[in-house]
Structure 1
Amino acid sequence: MNSLEAGRLGELIPVASYARTSEDFRQRDGHGVRYQLRINERIAHEHGCIGVAAYSDNGRGASKKGVARPGFDRLVEDLARGRTDSGLRIKGVVCVADDRPYRRADDLARIFAALTCRPGRGYVDSQGVRDPYSQDGLLQAVRSLDLAVTETRIRSRRVSDWHWARAVEGVPHSGPRPFGRQEDRITLHPEEAKLIEQAISDRIAGKAVRAIAADWCDLGVTGTRGGRPTRRRSHRSSPRQGSAAIGPTEASCC
């Protein structure tokens, strides 16, 4: 008798509960993962399961390679060995949606390999209990992955376009003061703006980038964080810095 059959006969299936949020920069209290874990409890009980261990990654995205997710790593390890550190058996995993544990193909492969390395396990979400060993179960996971990847690309492009438009209009961004602007990030810095304007003129006239950087070094110019100039290509190509040289109105019309 596998775990799915046991659940139908009234035996609660012990599952691991996983939650993840990509950002938590406003309240910084982990409320997002707490809410997900609570919803996981409800979903588990609705489908004859019970959460015996909770795993979470707060403020950690799953779209980019190299982002550490210790909660996910621990979940995969425990699924592979079939029990938690305290010795509790795990017969499946529950989460609110597929894009919580994975938004990349390698993470999908990791969790499904760990989940299906032993027989009789289930994958539970708001849609019900999924059979991870079946072709339909795997295809549904792949479709969810495809949707997540597409969503990530669209959102990334939208954010990139938004930042570009703000830069063209000379709208200040967060972070350190940009070279060529004063602390309000709008008003031109009288000396730095002249340097940028001269560098653009010199480059148009054919002067090498390294030669311009060398001139700045000779003048003792440093960046807003104290760094020495090496190559000033970014200053010349940035729409924001273009407005530092020729004014925001003209720059936005280029």
Structure 2
Amino acid sequence: MNQLARREPTGLIPVASYARTSEDVRQRDGHGVRNQLLINERTAREHGCTVVALYSDNGRSASKARVTRPGFDRLVTDLARGHTCDGQPVNGVVCTADDRLYRRPEDLARFLAALTTLPGRLYVDPQGVRDLYSQEGLLLAVRALDAAAAETRVRSRRLSDWHWARAVDGVPHSGPRPFGWQEDRITLHPDEARLVQQAITARIGGKAARGCRAGLV
């Protein structure tokens, strides 16, 4: 590195902790990012660092260009200026894995540019301390990006094949139960289907259709 990372009076290096999950559809309580942040705390201590700022994006993909990540954006901003909004110096980043931070070349470029704005900063993960100023460190980052991109392509292909197979088998799309159908999405719901039919008949006859769900009350 260009110089030793600046340390707190305690002798520990102040770092930012970042966590991200792509989905939180079951419990919807952010437990995934909380667990990652706890791992980051442990990783930081093991490598002579202390977490001084937390950044997270819950239920946000890093592989889709249209998805915003406010936590990642704040992290990049603070790294670029060298401190948090309250003036706390940030001399590195700790994360559970590269693909939590970036899955697209644009995000890797943003992260690297912000991190290396000042010399001597660290990037720490459970595998150890990484030097992103060195050629070897950059190569590792690019390899991680390639691996993340390959994984995204495989997942996309598997998902496409899964939907195709369901269509071939005549199985409805997964997701919330459509109104008018039972949980198997094949058998009609007797009450709801009747209301749907009434609404369709009313529309065909030029009448205003009442809210279907209202008729169940």
Q: Which position in structure 2 is the counterpart of 1:82?
A: 82
**Runs of 4+ in structure 1 displaced over 6 angstroms?**
none
* Cα deviation, residue 3, structure 1: 3.5
User: Larger RCO: Structure 1 or Structure 2 (Cα < 8 Å, ≥ 6 residues apart)?
Assistant: 2
On the 8 A contact 1:17/1:95 being kept in 2, the answer is yes
Give SS of 2:101's match. coil
Aligned to 1:129: 129
Listed as ranges, the matches of 1:28-177 within 5 Å are 28-174=28-174
- The alignment partner of 2:123 has SS state of strand
Letter in 2 for 1:31: H
- SS of residue matched to 1:22: coil
Unaligned runs of 5+ in 2: 189-202, 205-217
Local SS of the residue matching 1:100 = helix
Distance in 2 between residues matched to 1:175 and 1:124, nearest whole Å: 38
Superposition TM-score, scaled by structure 2 size: 0.80
Question: Partner residue of 2:23?
Answer: 23
Amino acid at match of 2:73: D
Equivalent residues of 1:3, 1:13 under 8 A apart: no
Q: Distance in 1 between matches of 2:56 and 2:6?
A: 28
Partner residue, 1:212: none
Letter in 2 for 1:26: R
| 1:2–1:11 Cα change, 3 Å | farther
Q: How many positions carry a matched residue from both structures?
A: 188
Distance 1:82 1:160, change over 3 A: same
Give the whole-Å Cα distance in 2 for the aligned partners of 1:187 and 1:44.
54
**Secondary structure at the residue paired with 1:186?**
coil
Alpha-carbon contact 1:170-1:186 (below 8 Å) kept: no
Q: Contact 1:3–1:122 at 8 Å: present in 2 too?
A: no
Q: Which runs of 5+ in 1 are unaligned?
A: 189-218, 221-254
Do the aligned partners of 2:15 and 2:51 also contact (CA within 8 Å) in 1?
Answer: yes
Contact 2:103–2:149 (CA<8 Å) still a contact in 1?
A: yes
The answer to whether the Cα contact below 8 Å between 2:30 and 2:58 also exists between their aligned partners in 1 is yes
Question: Which of 181, 196, 199 is the matching residue for 1:183?
Answer: 181
Q: Is the 8 A contact 1:13 1:48 kept in 2?
A: yes
Distance 2:52 2:176 in 1: 46
* 1:55 alignment partner AA: Y
